Amino acid sequence: MTAFAVLGVSAQGKSNELRIYSIDVEGGQSTLLVGPAGTSLLVDTGWGDNNGRDAGRIEAAMNDAGVTKLDYVLITHFHTDHVGGVPNLVQRVKVGEFLDHGENREDSEITRHDYAAYIKAVGKTPRRIVHPGDTVDIPGLTTIVLTADGEHIAAVPGVKPTPNPYCASEPKWELDTTENPRSTGILVRYGKFRFLDLGDLTKAKEIPLVCPENLIGHVDLYLVNHHGFNLSNTRAFVDAIHPRVAIMNNGAHKAGSPEAWQTVHESPGLEDLWMVHTAEDSDAAHNSAAPLIANLKDGADGAYFKVVAHADGSFSVTNSRTGQTKEY
């Protein structure tokens, strides 16, 4: 084992930036974060099979970032569009440590199968079960687990809880019995910049994070919960976290629901809603403008968003399809 492996820091990929890649895995999640010291965290791995399609797209993002191994892979929950890609990925990429919420909690054939395949693929690689309040050691960043296995953090260090006026009008939501409300969610800070990724957290578990008091505060970048399904993205939650920019990792025919799109789009303070795909089952009024979409209807797939964030809170989003960058 090399000294770099002991430290959990890659020698390559250093910069004075936090880079975040929202990789196109066709309506699943795979998000690559590379900290200023070159430490890498991959949140979810997309789907399995398809000749290793999603692992190939993850490798392409790693190449762009200049990283050759993944220091951490965090699996938010055991749905196939998040964990299914692990067996393909470990054949191609070295992983330092896997992080997840513990055993599969969903009583379904597919999650049992995917969980077993995940455990087999992890093999002898270190695996850590994370709980709310735990941190992930990425030099230069503060990475805090907010949710895991249905539990949530009581208070976020450095955030003063504030009353949330949007709670009063929020309906009471039923808890579902899938893996979604078990999602491991993280808040990542780089100086003043704040990024939120809560996996597929559903409405009943969004509310305790923001009602009666908002525990999270405002964020700069919000990876839209659950690919923009309307089972997630309550108004009380989205309005409270007050994102400047949102990225929806929908597929062409998955999620990107009109209701969730509308809630995020009209949330106070939002400057742009970027979409990984055109939501083809939705209408033009509930899709973003073409420059904000990575993969258009009838176009080639695989385009991604690259976010480059600075400690002063400024950041940019590049659409790999167009090569155009927008500054915030």
First to last CA, the chain: 41
We find the least distance from the C-beta atom of residue 232 to Zn ion, in angstroms, to be 10
Name the strand (E) or helix (H) holding 6.
Answer: helix 3-7
Omega prior to 212 cis, within 30 of 0: yes
- Nearest in space to 235 (alpha carbons), one of 154, 315, 166, 147: 166
Residue 7: CB minimum distance to Zn ion, A:
32
Binding to Zn ion (CB under 5 A): which residues in 173-202?
A: 180, 200
Candidates 71-79, 93-101, 163-171, 235-243 — which segment interacts with Zn ion by CB under 5 A? 71-79
Shorter beta-carbon distance to Zn ion: residue 35 or 181:
181
Position 170 contacts Zn ion (CB under 5 A): no
Is residue 79 a contact residue for Zn ion (CB under 5 A)? yes
Of 259, 198, 257, the C-alpha closest to 234 is: 259
Size of residue set near Zn ion by CB under 5 A: 4
* Nearer CB in complex with Zn ion: 134/176: 176
Nearest approach, Cβ of residue 298 and Zn ion (Å): 24
CB of 89 within 8 A of CB of 79? no
For residues 79 and 189, which CB has a smaller minimum distance to Zn ion in the complex?
79
Query: Which residue lies nearer to Zn ion by CB, 79 or 306?
Result: 79
Question: Nearest Cα to 131, choosing from 70, 210, 185, 199?
Answer: 185
Q: Is 81 in the site for Zn ion (CB under 5 A)?
A: yes
Nearest-angstrom CA–CA distance, 197 and 141: 15
Q: Are 247 and 305 in contact (CB under 8 A)?
A: yes
Please state the closest distance from residue 278 (CB atom) to Zn ion, in A: 18
Nearest approach, Cβ of residue 327 and Zn ion (Å): 30
Residues that bind Zn ion (CB under 5 A): 79, 81, 180, 200
